[in-house]
Structure 1
Amino acid sequence: MRKFWRSAFSAVLAAAAVPIALLSVQQPAQALENNLARTPQLGWNDWNSFGCNVNETLVRQTADVMVSSGMAAAGYQYVNIDDCWSEWNRDSSGNLVPDHTKFPSGMKALADYVHGKGLKLGIYSSAGTTTCQGYPASLGNEQRDANLWASWGIDYLKYDNCGDHQGRSGQDRYVAMRDALAKSGRPILFAICNWGGDSVNQWGPATGNSWRTTWDIQGNWGSVLGILDAQPGWAGLAKPGAWNDPDMLEVGNGLSDTEARAHFSLWALLNAPLLAGNDLRTMSAATRSILTNTEVIGVNQDWGGRQGNRIADYGDTEVWTKPMANGSMAVVLLNRGSGTSTISTSASQIGLGSASSYSVRDLWAHSTGTTSGAISASVPGHGAAMYVVTGGGVANPGTFALRGQGSGRCLDITGASQANGTPAEIWDCHGGANQAFTSTAAGELRVYGNTKCLDVSGNATANGTAVAIWDCTGGGNQQFRLNGDGSITAVGANKCLDVNGAATANGSKVQIWDCSGGSNQKWAKA
């Protein structure tokens, strides 16, 4: 493992990802609102290639290459320093001190240089008394350190989980640094790195701009797949300003070019932070072309209401999808096996509605074709194909009831009332007019013979906002997208149609909530 003492915990951390799926029906914390990371952060970190061998020259040269290689133009912003940057002891005033040999000009001068390139500088510490390599860390010195970093012009903090925790919970330790950064007077992106432990799924979104979901990544195919397999349980937490982090990219570090394209495709689909971990100064042309594929990066930076997720698992082959803001669907066809395999899906499977033809954009070949609905590719071993499929509008057109997966009951308008403001609930399925919904090309769910629309009350976007019926207005709060995984996105709020508290009783109210992947947010035509 990258951090010398973590290997003993890797099995524990892997197991820790399992309860996330079990907890997914709980309502996660609200997002941290510091106006940072409204799209997933893009940048570079030194650790994967250099470990403790970081220095001022490396950082300056990397900033230069980030510009000259086209990475900056493709959206990469952050040049991040990891562990081992400081002296072994704080100074007489209690401040952290950059290593005089590694950083002879000091951090303020380095930040000025990076800013002069139009980029941003990141630093590293840990929510313990020492970092993972034994250098002084920030537990108990949160405000002192945050103020120091702000004075240097730091823009990003990766906050690890090593050292003595002094008996304090993860939430307490990370919230302390969140609050210190907020008081520092400088906007500093806060990246939590506690490897998916300490129930970070419950408090991470309200605390950091991103949070690690698993153990550390390694530069091999098995590591990439192992981390990928843990991601579906976290999918419902992601939102603008708060992202699941499956760890840094290993593009150019040990992976073949085919594996690297698949890795980059999947991390993009997951709305993950894209932090290169290779030596940018010596990267191959193939590695550069992968990291600067602006079409794939565009999928990563697009928020269509939920991060990408796996919708079909056939063993060695899988289908992953992500809705895009314009109603199209991004698709990755993944071949985990060693031999070439044909992988197929369809417009209906990925959540698009009926159409005579669909546009299919190949994001690696940079070519566009059309299909009547079939999407298929011959994918090399350890490889992936990636597309954006457009056409068909909302899936599942027609009139139907919507049965809740968790309750077995149907979406129902209370008391069969047709009055504006009548709330939606769940009730035993009975085929009545107050349970018959029609999806329209405009994305509405109409009821009572198309006279009323399902409506997010007051055009609100907050978790817990009631869903009711109202005269159809064409507003964004009356647009709902039926997704291939069974969830229904309230488009205007970018949240999911949700049974309050995962209740199953008749009369349980329906609301909007952050998409969690829980059975109380899954619906099927009945």
Structure 2
Amino acid sequence: MRFAFIKTALGVAAVGGILAAATPALAQFKTVSEMPPKKELSLTPALGWNSWNTFGCDVSDSLIREMADAMVSSGMKDAGYEYVNIDDCWHGGRDEQGNIQVDPQKFPHGMKALADYVHSKGLKIGIYSDAGNKTCAGYPGSRGYEYQDALQYQAWGIDYLKYDWCNTENLNPIGAYTTMGEALAQLDRPILFSLCEWGDNQPWEWGKEIGHSWRTTGDIYNCWDCEHNHGSWSSLGVLPILDKQMKLRKYAGPGHWNDMDMMEIGNGMTEAQDRSHFTLWAVLNSPLIAGNDLRTMSKTTRDILTNREIIAVNQDKLGIQAMRMLATERLNVFAKPLENGEWAFVFLNRSHSTLDLNHDWEYYPLKDDEFGKRIDFDQEKFTWRDLWKGNKGDTLNPLKVKIPPHDVVVLRLTPKA
């Protein structure tokens, strides 16, 4: 899709001896950035936590410190989670030089001290801004200050930037995101760049050259199968977000991922729905960014978020997103190729009643034309392990199992010796 490219003029500032000036106007800008992102930052999808789903604008220094502590004490850090991300509403104003400031009431010690604390826990810290002149909550955005803000993030010790798309009238998304992407790429400090454009302008077609992940839909809503209308936009439940991913797998891979939004696990859905939610985000290679209160989560929620075998599927270095190989009104079957000839299979019960599954492996050969993968189960034999229950079996026999409503069965298949 072609866009009407715009010109972006940015101010000039010098910070730390580095000229914080934008490149000249972005007329006739192409989708290929002259400063490509540091892909080594995201060879596998990001794992972390974000403040928005539970706390909205109620963010503070003490909250973020407590979440960093909880990420460690809960075992999430040991399971692979590393980013503690502050969403909207941390901002104060800009000083006389245009440098962005934190809200001194919410963050009395400043952002650098908070980043140092998070880093002392062996974790990384993320921050939020917006391509418009104001964020979604009405705080100062980065439009016209991209290079200056990038340098400020570096000075603070930031590791991750979520970049939203509110208040962007008359802005071209490729140009706006490229400007910030190039600003980050020129820093000495590596900062993961998360594009939050909501999928409105097909960021999967151009985001690879700009950042490390891109949102594919509007915001998630804490429900299984719903669409919540907010007037000019809608937020979506787990199944509607899932269904919008099916044609996007070819765009994702090591260093660039389809982002299905922060997770709602532990925020009110059933245990089965939470388990399915986590599984689906994992096998579709979405970043796994928790959105609950880590300090008070139940053992059930913690066990879901720290299932290392599911996380290992998400973090598999082959980096191929699962394909939906079977879709009926009640049952979806997903297959994801893994390293060393292994596979992950997911059987999802979308319905409101228990599903009696009788899956004859030989009846369903698998052919993945997009990535050149296939399985002929009459020729190739596999053992399998259930990644939620620990049961074991093989593909010599049909898989017979009852799947409760909205629940999943997840198997890791290993070639038989």
Scaled to the shorter chain, the TM-score interval is 0.7 to 0.9
Residue 125 of structure 1 corresponds to 129
Question: Is 1:39 paired with 2:44?
Answer: yes
Shift of 1:251: 0.6
Question: Is 1:242 paired with 2:256?
Answer: yes
Aligned CA RMSD, in angstroms, stands at 1.7
Shift of 1:261: 0.3
Residue 148 of structure 1 corresponds to 152
Shift of 1:375: 2.9
In structure 2, the gaps of 5 or more residues are 1-30, 226-236, 367-373
Q: Could you tell me which of 52, 55, 75 is aligned with 1:50?
A: 55
Question: Is 1:181 paired with 2:179?
Answer: no
Q: Which is greater in Rg?
A: 1
Shift of 1:343: 2.9
Question: Is 1:63 paired with 2:68?
Answer: yes
Mapped partners of 2:85, 2:69: distance in 1: 14
Residue 409 of structure 1 corresponds to none
Residue 316 of structure 1 corresponds to 330
Three-state SS of the structure 2 residue aligned to 1:326 is helix
Q: Could you tell me which of 83, 98, 105 is aligned with 2:102?
A: 98
Three-state SS of the structure 2 residue aligned to 1:43 is strand
Residue 366 of structure 1 corresponds to 390
8 Å contact 2:37–2:182 — kept in the other structure? no
8 Å contact 1:304–1:326 — kept in the other structure? no
8 Å contact 1:355–1:391 — kept in the other structure? no
Render the CA deviation track for 1:486-511: whole Å, top value 9, x for unaligned.
Answer: xxxxxxxxxxxxxxxxxxxxxxxxxx
Mapped partners of 1:305, 1:262: distance in 2: 20
Mapped partners of 2:401, 2:286: distance in 1: 25
Residue 415 of structure 2 corresponds to 391
8 Å contact 1:40–1:301 — kept in the other structure? yes
Mapped partners of 1:231, 1:376: distance in 2: 28
Shift of 1:29: 7.1
8 Å contact 2:112–2:157 — kept in the other structure? yes
Mapped partners of 1:370, 1:384: distance in 2: 18
Residue 195 of structure 1 corresponds to 198
Shift of 1:371: 3.5
Within 5 Å, give how 1:451-462 maps onto structure 2. Answer: none
Mapped partners of 1:191, 1:182: distance in 2: 13
Mapped partners of 1:186, 1:334: distance in 2: 41
Residue 285 of structure 2 corresponds to 271
Q: Cα–Cα, structure 1 residues 356 and 112, in superposed 2: closer, same or farther, change >3 Å?
A: closer
Shift of 1:202: 1.7
Three-state SS of the structure 1 residue aligned to 2:356 is strand
Shift of 1:314: 1.5
Shift of 1:200: 1.2
Render the CA deviation track for 1:183-205: whole Å, top value 9, x for unaligned.
Answer: 22210000000001223122111
Counterpart amino acid of 1:134? G
Within 5 Å, give how 1:329-344 maps onto structure 2. Answer: 329-344=343-358
Render the CA deviation track for 1:106-145: whole Å, top value 9, x for unaligned.
Answer: 1000000000000000000001110000000101100000
Mapped partners of 2:150, 2:318: distance in 1: 34
Question: Is 1:304 paired with 2:304?
Answer: no
Mapped partners of 1:97, 1:114: distance in 2: 19
Mapped partners of 1:288, 1:251: distance in 2: 9
Question: Is 1:380 paired with 2:404?
Answer: yes
Residue 209 of structure 1 corresponds to 212
Segment drifting more, 29-38 vs 269-278: 29-38
Residue 12 of structure 1 corresponds to none
Shift of 1:329: 1.2
Mapped partners of 1:32, 1:97: distance in 2: 26
8 Å contact 1:125–1:158 — kept in the other structure? yes
Shift of 1:344: 4.1
Mapped partners of 2:375, 2:73: distance in 1: 40
Q: Could you tell me which of 361, 369, 375 is aligned with 1:352?
A: 375
8 Å contact 1:329–1:389 — kept in the other structure? yes
Render the CA deviation track for 1:372-392: whole Å, top value 9, x for unaligned.
Answer: 052342111011111111226
Shift of 1:149: 0.4
Render the CA deviation track for 1:470-499: whole Å, top value 9, x for unaligned.
Answer: xxxxxxxxxxxxxxxxxxxxxxxxxxxxxx
Counterpart amino acid of 2:204? N
Residue 241 of structure 2 corresponds to 227
Mapped partners of 2:319, 2:77: distance in 1: 26
Render the CA deviation track for 1:292-334: whole Å, top value 9, x for unaligned.
Answer: 0000000000043520121101211110110011111101100
Counterpart amino acid of 2:296? T
Residue 157 of structure 1 corresponds to 161
Within 5 Å, give how 1:358-507 maps onto structure 2. Answer: 358-391=382-415
Residue 513 of structure 1 corresponds to none
Three-state SS of the structure 2 residue aligned to 1:287 is helix
Mapped partners of 1:106, 1:90: distance in 2: 14
Question: Is 1:218 paired with 2:234?
Answer: no
Residue 434 of structure 1 corresponds to none
Shift of 1:245: 0.3
Q: Cα–Cα, structure 1 residues 215 and 356, in superposed 2: closer, same or farther, change >3 Å?
A: closer
Shift of 1:233: 1.3
8 Å contact 1:29–1:202 — kept in the other structure? no
Render the CA deviation track for 1:183-231: whole Å, top value 9, x for unaligned.
Answer: 2221000000000122312211111100000111011101100000000
8 Å contact 1:192–1:211 — kept in the other structure? yes
Three-state SS of the structure 1 residue aligned to 2:135 is coil
8 Å contact 1:356–1:372 — kept in the other structure? no
Mapped partners of 2:197, 2:162: distance in 1: 10
| TM-score computed with the length of structure 2 as normaliser | 0.84
Question: Is 1:79 paired with 2:102?
Answer: no
Shift of 1:91: 1.3
Counterpart amino acid of 1:385? V
Shift of 1:357: 4.5
Relative contact order, CA 8 A, sep 6+: which one is greater? 2
Mapped partners of 2:110, 2:148: distance in 1: 18
Segment drifting more, 339-348 vs 42-51: 339-348
Mapped partners of 2:148, 2:39: distance in 1: 20
Mapped partners of 2:75, 2:406: distance in 1: 27
Question: Is 1:170 paired with 2:173?
Answer: yes
Three-state SS of the structure 1 residue aligned to 2:158 is coil
